[in-house]
């Protein structure tokens, strides 16, 4: 399985308030690159949603949660035996 770095969307941080504007900040965590890319494309069509981070593994997910202030985490439950404890 290829690893990807935790990343930040290029347009995150735009605006007067340093990126904490009137939009929902999302982290997408899934082992399938095509799923992550699809969600990013869908969310890019919305003015009030920003993908601020993405992750392929549980470790990357936990790192992204520590680095980025997100309102929503879209998390593939199969990344860990106990998803609630992993991201809680």
pLDDT tens for the chain, 88 residues: list them.
Answer: 444 455 544 444 444 445 556 889 999 999 999 999 999 999 999 999 999 999 999 999 989 989 988 999 999 988 888 777 776 6
Region class of 19: left (phi > 0), else alpha (psi between -120 and 50), else beta: left
Residues composing the chain: 88
Contact predicate 26/70, CB 8 Å: yes
The helix (H) or strand (E) run that includes residue 56 is none
pLDDT for residue 20: 55
The residues pairing with 28 across neighbouring beta strands, listed in sequence order, are 54, 74
Q: What whole-number distance in Å separates Cα of residue 63 and Cα of residue 39?
A: 20
pLDDT for residue 88: 67
Q: Tell me the pTM.
A: 0.72
pLDDT for residue 45: 95
pLDDT for residue 11: 40
CATH 3.40.50.2300 correct for 24-87: yes
Which residues have C-beta within 8 Å of that of residue 84, sequence separation ≥ 6? none
């Amino acid at each position: 399985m290829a690893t990807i770095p935790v990343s930040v969307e290029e347009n995150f941080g735009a605006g007067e308030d340093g990126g904490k504007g009137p939009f929902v900040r999302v982290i997408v965590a899934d082992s399938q690159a095509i799923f992550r890319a699809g969600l990013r494309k869908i969310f890019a069509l919305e003015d009030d949603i920003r993908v601020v981070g993405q992750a392929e593994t549980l470790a990357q997910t936990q790192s992204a949660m520590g680095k980025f202030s997100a309102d929503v985490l879209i998390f593939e439950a199969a990344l860990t035996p106990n998803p609630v404890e992993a991201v809680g």
